[in-house]
């Protein structure tokens, strides 16, 4: 998939996903964040967490990996070192230790996507977020891949995508997230241009993006999901100044301002005062 993402349709897809990641992770706060896979996309570029890591599978080569510097297809490449070599199904992090996980096409390229998602649930803190992007099988790109597979069985044609991994539909992914106590916070589809390989034809079909987003939004070539880990029965800790008891104000007796010196002031209401009590009032 690395070589396909460097092709014109791959750069078109990465540009859309990079913009979505920049919007989604900019306001997610915490201390530890992790990106799993996809070295050509910087999913944590706009995030402000102090500790950020990039993890790739064992098949990746240790050292510098090319990253897209900008979110468009003409952006220059910059170099960044891989922090970890780890498989998504076995992350080297303790339970409830990460605040944010970014999975750009990680699940569909994993050997066991459901096990990888369970591992994500394990390392995320309560109320932590996972951001996932993937290819939509119910799209023009997915239809071309399905047709190419059919022709390939007959000995004709070539695949549009490399024959690695499998498409995971949005509804299927949403059911997996619900089973693991995740709540889908937002979901979005994009990339409505047809499955062509030429950059010139992709540019000519640019009008299909606004039309598709309005008229057939669920048939985009890619989807983007932000989910929150919910823990039922969890009680959030409040600041100490909210939980401490405030001292109650004591009642203060009101004395007669005109009481004579050396004589007790009357506290009886006017209708219960006697003649002797009224003499004490000036």
pLDDT at 74: 45
Residue 190 in this model has a pLDDT that exceeds 80: yes
CATH assignment of the domain containing 139: 3.40.50.150
Which structural domain range is residue 81 located in?
4-229
pLDDT digits (tens, 9 = 90+) for 76-95: 444 456 778 888 898 999 99
Of these ranges, 59-68, 140-149, 156-165, the one predicted with the greatest mean pLDDT is: 140-149
Residue 279 within any structural domain of the chain = no
Residue 139 within any structural domain of the chain = yes
Residue 222 within any structural domain of the chain = yes
How far is it, in rounded angstroms, from Cα 238 to Cα 172? 37
Residue 121 in this model has a pLDDT that exceeds 90: yes
pLDDT at 37: 86
Residue 23 in this model has a pLDDT that exceeds 70: yes
Residue 59 in this model has a pLDDT that exceeds 60: no
Residue 118 within any structural domain of the chain = yes
SS (H, E, C) the chain: CCCHHHCHHHHHHHHHHHHHHHHHHCCCCCCEEEEECCCCCCCCCCCCCCEEEEEECCCCCCCEEEEECCCCCCCCEEEEECCEECCCCCCCCCCCCEEEEEEECCCCCCCCHHHHHHHHHHHEEEEEEEEEEEECCCCHHHHHHHHHHHHHHCCCCCCCCCCCCCCCCHHHHHHHHHHCCEEEEEEEEECCCCCCCCHHHHHHCCCHHHHHHHHCHHHCCEEEEEEEECCCCCCCCCCHHHHCCCCCCCCCCCCCCCECCCCCCCCCCHHHCCHHHHHCEC
Residue 65 in this model has a pLDDT that exceeds 50: no
Residue 246 within any structural domain of the chain = no
Our count of domains for the chain comes to 1
Answer positive or negative: Cα dihedral of 114, 120, 123, 124: negative
Residue 267 within any structural domain of the chain = no
For residue 11, report the phi and psi dihedrals to the nearest 5 degrees: -70, -35
pTM higher than the cut 0.85:
no
First to last CA, the chain: 100
* pLDDT band, very low/low/confident/very high, at 246 (cuts 50, 70, 90): low
Query: Whose CA is closest to 96, among 181, 179, 38?
Result: 181
Provide the phi-psi class of 63: left if phi over 0, else alpha when psi is between -120 and 50, else beta: left
Q: Which of 83-87, 106-110, 182-186, 267-271 has the lowest mean pLDDT?
A: 267-271
pLDDT digits (tens, 9 = 90+) for 192-228: 998 888 889 889 988 999 998 899 889 999 999 999 9
- How many CA atoms does the CB half-sphere of 131 hold within 13 Å? 26
How far is it, in rounded angstroms, from Cα 262 to Cα 20? 83
Residue 212 within any structural domain of the chain = yes
Residue 36 within any structural domain of the chain = yes
Of these ranges, 6-10, 91-95, 240-244, 259-263, the one predicted with the greatest mean pLDDT is: 91-95
């Amino acid at each position: 998939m690395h070589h396909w993402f460097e092709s014109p349709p791959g750069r078109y897809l990465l540009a859309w996903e990079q913009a979505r990641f920049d919007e989604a992770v900019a306001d997610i706060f915490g201390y530890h964040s992790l990106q799993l896979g996809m070295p050509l996309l910087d999913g944590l570029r706009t995030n402000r967490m102090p500790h950020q890591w990039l993890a790739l599978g064992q098949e990746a080569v240790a050292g510098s990996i090319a990253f897209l510097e900008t979110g468009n297809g003409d952006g220059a490449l910059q170099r960044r070192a891989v922090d970890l070599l780890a498989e998504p199904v076995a992350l080297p992090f303790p339970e409830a230790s990460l605040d944010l996980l970014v999975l750009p096409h990680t699940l569909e390229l994993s050997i066991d996507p459901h096990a990888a998602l369970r591992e994500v649930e394990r390392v995320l803190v309560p109320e932590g977020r996972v951001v996932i992007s993937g290819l939509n099988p119910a799209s023009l790109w997915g239809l071309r891949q399905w047709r190419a597979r059919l022709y390939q069985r007959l000995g004709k044609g070539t695949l549009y995508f490399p024959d690695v991994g499998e498409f995971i539909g949005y509804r299927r992914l949403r059911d997996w997230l619900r089973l693991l106590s995740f709540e889908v916070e937002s979901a979005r589809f994009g990339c409505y241009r047809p499955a062509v390989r030429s950059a010139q034809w992709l540019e000519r079909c640019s009008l299909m993006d606004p039309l598709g987003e309005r008229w057939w939004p669920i048939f985009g070539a890619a989807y983007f999901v932000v989910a929150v880990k919910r823990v039922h029965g969890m009680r959030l800790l409040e600041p100490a100044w909210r939980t401490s008891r405030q001292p109650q104000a004591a009642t203060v007796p009101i004395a007669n301002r005109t009481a004579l010196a050396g004589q007790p002031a009357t506290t009886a209401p006017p209708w219960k005062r006697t003649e002797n009590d009224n003499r004490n009032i000036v």
